[in-house]
């Protein structure tokens, strides 16, 4: 429901009768302003609208576009090569880890086969050997001291033998 009376509001309080009134514009002033538009012939409009291309600016823009394209292409190619090298490094590191793991496994297998208990077991089972007893052990004593012997060269000619005989007389 819409209320048709405005009994709650007194609009006369808000009206300002002292405000200056604006002069109304005449239609004649609008006509005078409309006449200020300059019209050009169609050929002149086409000539103005047509964009004038400066050959130097066109050349400079083309060269700039080519240079930017080459730089971007070089960056992309560099990134692709960098990615390929990184992938090769990752593959090489994985191969290294696998090789180190296999090496460790082989070392452990070798150590288990070369342990003294395994060697003793192999000697007893496969070769039929047994540990030496005290009766079988023989002790050697070297109380006489160390001796050094000089072996004589047997293939000596006659002149060397004569020279040795003479030097032997003087010593």
Helices and strands per DSSP (H, E), number in the chain: 5, 0
CA pair distance 137, 140, nearest whole angstrom: 10
CA-to-CA dists, residue 36 to 29, 39, 42, angstroms: 12, 10, 19
Instruction: Look over the chain and give the mean of its residue pLDDT values, rounded to a whole number.
Output: 80
Going by pLDDT thresholds of 50, 70 and 90, the confidence category of residue 116 is confident
The pLDDT of residue 110 is 87
| C-alpha–C-alpha distance, residues 118 and 109, integer Å | 12
Distance between CA 31 and CA 150 in Å, rounded? 143
Q: Is the pLDDT of residue 27 over 60?
A: no
Number of Cβ within a 10 Å radius of residue 120? 13
The reported pLDDT for the residue numbered 105 is 94
pLDDT reported for residue 118: 82
Share of the chain above pLDDT 90, in %: 30
What percentage of the chain's residues is helix, strand, coil (to nearest 5)?
A: 60, 0, 40
**Which comes out higher in pLDDT, residue 159 or 48?**
159
Q: pLDDT-derived band of residue 46, with 50, 70 and 90 as boundaries?
A: confident
Among the ranges given (83-87, 124-128, 166-170), the one the predictor scored with the smallest mean pLDDT: 166-170
Of 18 and 126, which is predicted with more confidence? 126
CA–CA dist 131, 111 (Å, integer): 22
- The alpha carbon dihedral of 78, 80, 84, 86 has a sign of positive
Dump pLDDT digits (tens) for 58-69. Answer: 999 999 999 999
Q: Decide: 143 and 149 in contact? Cβ < 8 Å.
A: no
What one-character DSSP code corresponds to residue 115?
Answer: S
If you search the block for the tokens 């490094």, which residue do you land on?
89
What's the pLDDT score for residue 99? 97
* 90/99 Cα distance (integer angstroms): 14
């Amino acid at each position: 429901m819409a209320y048709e009376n405005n009994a709650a509001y007194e609009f006369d309080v808000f009206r300002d009768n002292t405000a200056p009134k604006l002069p109304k514009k005449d239609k004649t002033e609008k006509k005078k302003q409309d006449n200020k538009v300059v019209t050009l012939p169609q050929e002149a409009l086409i000539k103005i609208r047509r964009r004038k291309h400066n050959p130097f600016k066109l050349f400079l823009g083309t060269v700039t576009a080519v240079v930017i394209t080459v730089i971007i292409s070089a960056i992309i190619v560099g990134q692709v090569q960098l990615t390929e090298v990184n992938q090769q490094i990752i593959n090489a590191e994985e191969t290294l880890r696998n090789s180190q793991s296999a090496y460790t496994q082989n070392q452990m297998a070798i150590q288990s086969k070369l342990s003294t208990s395994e060697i003793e077991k192999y000697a007893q089972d496969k070769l039929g050997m047994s540990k030496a007893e005290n009766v079988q052990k023989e002790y050697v004593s070297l109380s006489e001291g160390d001796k050094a012997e000089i072996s004589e060269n047997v293939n000596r000619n006659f002149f060397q033998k004569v020279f040795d005989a003479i030097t032997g007389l003087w010593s």
